[in-house]
Amino acid sequence: ARVLPASDPAVASAPKATGILPSSPPKRGSVPFSIRYSLPISALTQQTVDGKSKVIFGVASVVLNSDGRAVDKHASRIAITVNTDVVRLHPDAPIAFDQLLNLKKNDEYLYLAVWDMASGRLGTLQVPVKVTKAK
């Protein structure tokens, strides 16, 4: 996962993601951040749903403040249709998706999780963040 302020030029120049998880409108004193998740398609279980091959997984982020307390949380269920021919040729091809969050000055860490809803496989990551003063 890559975590950057949404205003960072690297966010605008990044290749298009497979999906974008919406954020709530920014609140006063918050700074928009973009989280780019990237994982190999082989890490997820393919399922046939309505005649289409899909991967279905969950994504969650928990915002921790300087005291280590959870001050915000977001979770989403994602279903992405995959091209089985491409997956057969490139089983470790990455899928990328973005999550947009509004962070505050006292927020210091993000605890991120992705889980495969078919297999129950879970991966987590804790990322330190530096939130500059909101403009």
Write down the pTM of the prediction: 0.83
Q: Tell me which DSSP letter residue 131 carries.
A: P
d(CA 132, CA 42): 37
43-58 pLDDT, tens digit per residue, is: 999 998 899 999 999 9
What percentage of the chain reaches a pLDDT higher than 70? 89
Pairing mode, strands 52-65 and 70-81: antiparallel
pLDDT value, residue 23: 61
81-106 pLDDT, tens digit per residue, is: 988 888 889 989 888 888 889 999 88
**How far from each other are the two terminal CA atoms of the chain, in whole angstroms?**
25
Long-range CB pairs of 8-14 (<8 Å, 24+ gap) are: 8/34, 11/36
Quote the tokens at residue 88: 């057969």
